[in-house]
Chains A and B, each alone.
Chain A
Amino acid sequence: QVQLVQSGAEVKKPGASVKVSCKASGYTFTGHYMHWVRQAPGQGLEWMGWINPKSGGTNYAQKFQGRVSMTRDTSLSTVYMELSRLRSDDTAVYYCARDLWVDILTIVPDLWGQGALVTVSS
């Protein structure tokens, strides 16, 4: 079954870091770029960046530069997104999402994880 399964909800204090995982199954993990997209409560979608699971290469949205790190473990078919120096406005559901095409970057996610709610509160 082709799917992305993310880690569970997290509650963090301001200034802390959070690391969300996303395990892929049912397809060739290294064949598709993976994106991270977040959605604040009741709000729209915000793209954070991508990772190429084959090479480990990354590209982050300027807004998150210096605070976000995307990594992968090919042996586990898992990608990770770590966001540091958390603020209250980082409270959101964080989605991993697979790019549509094999070996081509389009930034059209066609397969999404279930989402992981990260709550930042003192």
Chain B
Amino acid sequence: DIVMTQSPDSLAVSLGERATLNCKSSQSVLYSSNNKYYIAWYQQKPGQPPKLLIYWASTRASGVPDRFSGSGSGTDFTLTISSLQAEDVAVYYCQQYYSTPPTFGPGTKVDIK
């Protein structure tokens, strides 16, 4: 199974500031035939199910604000929240769907400083 790691475990950012969350896969998740990275990002608020934010490493899901962006290459990926809002307090998970079973990272908790 592909192991996903995330850093930091938690971070506190001031309102309006940038938050940068990191995710690393234990092996390549690039599918050479379509040149796409099989990485997704989810946001989970307390007591709620996860919400899909990003897929193909950088494509925003429908309705996701443009302050959320995904990037990365190789085995290192980043979710950036360009201007943190109060409603962004949550745990963020990355996931690989390159191979079965799909696996999730342990999550990064984002709080307000």
Within 8 Å of chain A (Cβ to Cβ): is B90? no
Complex contact B103–A47 (CB within 8 A): yes
How far does the alpha carbon of A85 sit from the alpha carbon of B106 in the complex, in Å? 27
Residues from chain A with a CB closer than 8 A to the CB of B61 are 100, 110
Residues from chain A with a CB closer than 8 A to the CB of B100 are 59, 61, 107
Within 8 Å of chain B (Cβ to Cβ): is A28? no
Residues from chain B with a CB closer than 8 A to the CB of A47 are 101-104
Residues from chain B with a CB closer than 8 A to the CB of A113 are 49
Residues from chain B with a CB closer than 8 A to the CB of A62 are 101
How far does the alpha carbon of A57 sit from the alpha carbon of B55 in the complex, in Å? 25
Contacts of A99-113 to chain B: CB distance below 8 A: 100, 106-110, 112-113
Which of A61, A95, A106, A114 is B101 in contact with, Cβ under 8 Å?
A61
Given A44-B107, A46-B104; A108-B55 close (CB under 8 Å)? yes
Given A100-B55, A106-B97, A107-B97; A112-B105 close (CB under 8 Å)? no
In this complex, the interface size class of chain A, counting residues with CB under 8 Å from chain B, is 20 to 34
Contacts of B28-49 to chain A: CB distance below 8 A: 40, 42, 49
Q: What total of chain B residues lie within 8 Å of the partner, measured CB to CB?
A: 20
Which of B49, B52, B55, B102 is A95 in contact with, Cβ under 8 Å?
B49
The smallest C-beta distance from B74 to any residue of chain A, in angstroms, reads 20
Query: Contact residues of A with B, CB < 8 Å?
Result: 37, 44-47, 59, 61-63, 95, 97, 100, 106-110, 112-115
For this complex, 22 residue pairs linking A to B, each with C-beta atoms less than 8 Å apart, are: A37-B50, A44-B93, A44-B105, A45-B50, A46-B104, A47-B102, A59-B100, A62-B101, A63-B101, A97-B50, A100-B55, A100-B61, A107-B97, A108-B40, A108-B52, A108-B55, A108-B97, A109-B50, A109-B52, A110-B52, A110-B62, A112-B51
